[in-house]
Amino acid sequence: MSERALRGTRLGATSYETDRGIDLAPRQTVEYACQNGHRFEVPFSVEAEIPATWECRFCGQEAALLDGDEPEEKKIKPTRTHWDMLMERRTREELEEVLAERLAVLRSGGMNLAVHPRDTRKSA
């Protein structure tokens, strides 16, 4: 008999629980509108922080909260270049000193740039 009771049902696909006797959390509905004129409501918990923007469920554009404050612009940090990071670590005088030292080593022949370590040709 128990085998027949489950025959034809989709176990796991359908819930047989009901909402009777259950107190749902208090909710509020918030209305959003996108630039294309679509208006829609989104339910939130009363305790939730309401976002200023939400993705439009019709077109996917960013929708703004109706009767809400404008979203704050995020501060964009300027891109730091190699030079900027170098100047954070050293002063211009220090860099000129290092450059003078390196140029002195090159001019004295301390580094032989003519012979490459992987060069298999014999120099004449």
**80 lies in the same domain as 56:** no
- Per DSSP bridges, beta strands 62-65 and 27-33 are antiparallel
CATH number reported for the structural domain that contains residue 35 in this entry: 2.20.28.270
- Token pair belonging to 66: 């109706």
Confidence of residue 25 (pLDDT cuts 50, 70, 90): confident
3-class DSSP state for residue 19? coil
- Token pair belonging to 60: 């996917």
Instruction: For residues 95 and 104, give the distance between their C-alpha atoms in angstroms, rounded to a whole number.
Output: 14
> Is 19 among the domain residues?
no
Question: Closest Cα to residue 55, out of 43, 69, 42?
Answer: 42
Q: What is the pLDDT of residues 63-112, one digit of tens each?
A: 999 876 666 677 888 899 999 999 999 999 999 999 999 999 888 887 76
Can you give the pTM of this predicted structure?
0.44
Residue 114 has pLDDT above 70, yes or no: no
**29 lies in the same domain as 58:** yes
Q: Which domain holds residue 104?
A: 76-110
Residues above pLDDT 90, as percent of the chain: 46
Point out the annotated binding site for Zn(2+): 34, 38, 56, 59
Is 84 or 113 the better-scoring residue by pLDDT? 84
Point out the annotated binding site: 34, 38, 56, 59
Judge contact between 39 and 33, C-beta under 8 A: yes
